[in-house]
């Protein structure tokens, strides 16, 4: 019975120690935000609408 209690205490202390060490660890991450450049070509749409507007036939 006493051996069982000592084993339970040892396992409990081991779990406590692992939890405490794990709680002290930290991981640093770095994030880099890069701008996104988007080029849209709207000339075709404007050209088509201009042709439709000027089409007087």
Supply the DSSP string of the chain, one letter for each residue. Answer: -HHHHHHHHHHHHHHHHHHHHHHH------------------HHHHHHHHHHHH---
Residue 57 is predicted with a pLDDT of 54
Lowest mean pLDDT among 4-8, 22-26, 36-40, 48-52: 22-26
What tokens does 45 get? Answer: 């749409």
Residue 29 is predicted with a pLDDT of 84
pTM of the model: 0.38
For the chain, domain boundaries: 1-25
């Amino acid at each position: 019975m006493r051996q069982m209690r000592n084993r339970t205490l040892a396992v409990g202390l081991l779990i406590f120690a692992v939890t405490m060490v794990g709680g002290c660890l930290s991981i640093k991450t770095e994030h880099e935000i890069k701008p996104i450049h988007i080029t849209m070509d709207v000339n075709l749409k404007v050209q088509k609408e201009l042709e439709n507007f000027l089409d007087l036939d």
